[in-house]
Homo-oligomer: A and B are copies of this chain.
Amino acid sequence: MTEKTGPLSDRSRIRRAPARADYDRSTLNAIVDAAYICHLAFADQRGTHCIPTACWREGDYLYIHGSNGSQLLKAAAEGAQVCITVTHLDGLVLARSAFSHSMNFRSAVIYGVCEAVEGEHKAESLDALVEKIAPGRSREARRGNAQEMAATTVLRVLMNEFSCKIRTGGPKDADADLDLPIWAGVLPITSAPLPPVPEDACRVAPPYVTEWR
Give every chain B residue within 8 A of A186 (Cβ-Cβ).
196-197
Please measure, in the bound complex, the distance between the C-alpha atom of A107 and the C-alpha atom of B37, giving whole angstroms. Answer: 12
Q: Give bound CA distance, A158 to B98, whole Å.
A: 25
Query: Can you report 29 residue pairs joining A to B where beta carbons are below 8 Å apart?
Result: A16-B70, A16-B71, A37-B103, A41-B49, A42-B48, A43-B48, A48-B81, A48-B82, A50-B50, A50-B83, A92-B133, A94-B133, A94-B134, A96-B142, A97-B148, A98-B143, A99-B148, A101-B141, A134-B187, A142-B180, A184-B198, A184-B199, A185-B202, A185-B209, A188-B196, A188-B197, A189-B191, A189-B192, A191-B191
Q: Is the CB of B198 within 8 A of A183?
A: yes
A159 at the interface (CB under 8 A from B): no
Whether A204 is near chain B, meaning CB under 8 Å from some CB there, is: yes
When all copies of this chain in the complex are counted, the total is 2
Using known A-B contacts A141-B95, A183-B202, determine if residue A49 contacts B193 with beta carbons closer than 8 Å. Answer: no
Contacts A47-B83, A101-B130, A184-B199 aside, 10 further interface pairs with beta carbons under 8 A come to: A11-B46, A16-B70, A36-B92, A47-B111, A98-B126, A98-B142, A99-B142, A186-B196, A188-B196, A192-B192
* Nearest-Cβ distance from residue A67 to partner chain B, whole angstroms: 6
Closest to A165 in B: B52
Interface residue A89 (Cβ < 8 Å from any Cβ of B): yes
Question: Is A59 located at the chain interface by the 8 A CB criterion?
Answer: no
A194 at interface by CB-CB < 8 Å:
yes
Q: How far is the CB of A183 from chain B (nearest CB, A)?
A: 5
Q: Does chain B have a CB within 8 A of A105?
A: yes
The count of residues in chain A whose C-beta lies closer than 8 Å to any C-beta of chain B is 93
Nearest chain B residue, comparing its CB with the CB of A194: B188
Contact yes or no, B87 A52, CB < 8 A: yes
A residues near B, CB below 8 A?
Answer: 10-11, 15-16, 36-37, 39-43, 46-52, 54, 66-67, 69-71, 80-85, 87, 89, 91-92, 94-99, 101, 103, 105, 107, 109, 111, 126-127, 129-130, 133-134, 137-138, 140-145, 148, 152, 170-171, 177-178, 180, 182-199, 201-202, 204-206, 208-209, 212
